Chain A
Amino acid sequence: MTALAALIKRDIQIALRVGGGALIGVLFFLTVVVLMPFAIGPDLALLARLGPAILWLGALLASLLTLDRLFTADHDDGSLDLIAMSRTPLELSCATKALAHWIAAGLPLIVATPVLGLLLNLDAASTLAVALTLLVGTPALTFTGMIGAALAVTLHRGGLLLAVLVLPLSIPVLIFGVAASDAAITGPVSFGTPFSILCALSLVSFVVGPFAAAASLRQGLD
């Protein structure tokens, strides 16, 4: 337990300090959302209608962008081998690393959501709904994305390959995240139905993600 706590603390510290790059994700999120009105036009009513979708897409791309950092730095300096060889099961270490990654790179996105909601003309209730769905949904993005990150690091290929492998797997999260947000704002469907499916998707990813990532790390690290 202390080993896992130390791992969480270490990963968050590395991510937040100089060269960590966790906060670049938030900056990217902000930039993507600011770009949208230039493509769509400054029509506030239209922006409010598309708001949840824009926020979700931005968060999806931002979390994808930071995924590369989950294992690469540790692989380069050799600490990933130490983690793999330690007595702690690799599955638990992977889950811990993903949790730390989410705290450092995912939570800031959710904190930034209210500000971006203002830019997209969302009212307080809608912004709250989107932030809530992001809070529940982004862990699923991190935990499924971790599988792709583990595959990419063992193959020494990151970047585009990671995106191509991970994006199709994140479609269910996107569907139910946007559906729950829309249901809270306009929809005839009740907020609870898509929201609880979103929670279920996150829970499934907590189970599948660490095992698949640990398996690919074990197979790939020689």
Chain B
Amino acid sequence: MTLTTTLTDLANPTKFLSLTARLLPWLIAATAILLLIGLYMSAAAPDDYQQGATVKIMFIHVPNAWLSMFVWGVMSIASLGTLVWRHPLADVAAKSAAPIGAAFTFLALVTGSLWGRPMWGTYWEWDARLTSVLILFLMYLGLMALWRAVEDPSRAARAAAILTLVGAINLPIIKFSVDWWNTLHQPASVFRMGGPTLDRAFLLPLLVMAVAFSLLFVTLHLAAMRNEILRRRVRSLQMMQAGQQAA
């Protein structure tokens, strides 16, 4: 079975619901186990010679920051699904990903701020990365406001899909402008030419935590999609009931 036929099969919400009902317990278990291992490894990791124990904030902060951008990517693909292929579950996926992405972005901001206090001596610094993550957070909130502005989900879906794609084009431009504007944050240290500069003792727990948080996102996203499908069913049942009473 190819990927496209799988995706077409999943267009049937009932099939999607029954598949995810079987899948979710396993995902939840895997997420919990990996999170536990990751947290243990983070706690056992040595203190940094300069930053002391505060370096451990990194194990929470960096996965959140990665996911804050990854979720926008997921929403962009889902938006393409809404606009191009009219996949019935695409707008459900896009809608339920937005609050999760906003939460990851918010956590990245909060942990970054808590990390900045002992390191830079201030909770907030208008440096390039913090600022662009803050703008990303504002765009998540704007997108959620757009979803909430319209009652009919399919109308809101198309508008939100266009805004998501415009955001996907604009986010690199915003990132570049803010980088140009100011920089104080340390340059990228994991994914770069010539291999990571991070020590292995820190890199391994970080990667485990990154995988654990990605699994957490998948779990939360599937659960939120199930809720959204059920919510829409309740909505259409209520509309039918109201129609019958009026008739």
**Which A positions have Cβ atoms within 8 angstroms of B?**
144, 147, 151, 154-155, 157, 161, 164-165, 168-169, 171-172, 175-176, 179, 197, 201, 204, 208, 212, 215-216, 219-220
Contacts and interface: CB of A to CB of B under 8 A. Distances in A.
B169 A161 contact: no
Nearest to A164: B142
A216 B158 contact: yes
A155 B149 CA distance: 8
Q: What is the interface residue range for chain B against chain A?
A: 20 to 34
A155 B155 contact: yes
Contact of A165 (B83, B135, B146, B176): B146
Nearest to B138: A168
B29 interface: no
Contacts of B159: 151, 154-155, 216, 219-220
B166 A169 contact: yes
Nearest to A156: B150
B49 interface: no
Contact of B177 (A175, A215, A216): A175
Given A151-B162, A175-B177, A175-B178, 4 more contacts: A161-B145, A164-B142, A168-B142, A201-B173
Given A216-B159, A219-B162, A208 B177 contact: no
Contacts, number: 74
Interface in B219-238: none
B156 interface: yes
A208 B138 CA distance: 21
A215 B162 contact: yes
A168 B166 contact: no
B180 interface: yes
Nearest to A213: B162
Contact of B158 (A161, A169, A176, A220): A220
Contact of B145 (A164, A172, A197, A208): A164
Interface in B55-102: 83
B51 interface: no
B165 interface: yes
Contacts of B135: 168, 171
A154 B150 CA distance: 10
A160 to B, nearest CB: 9
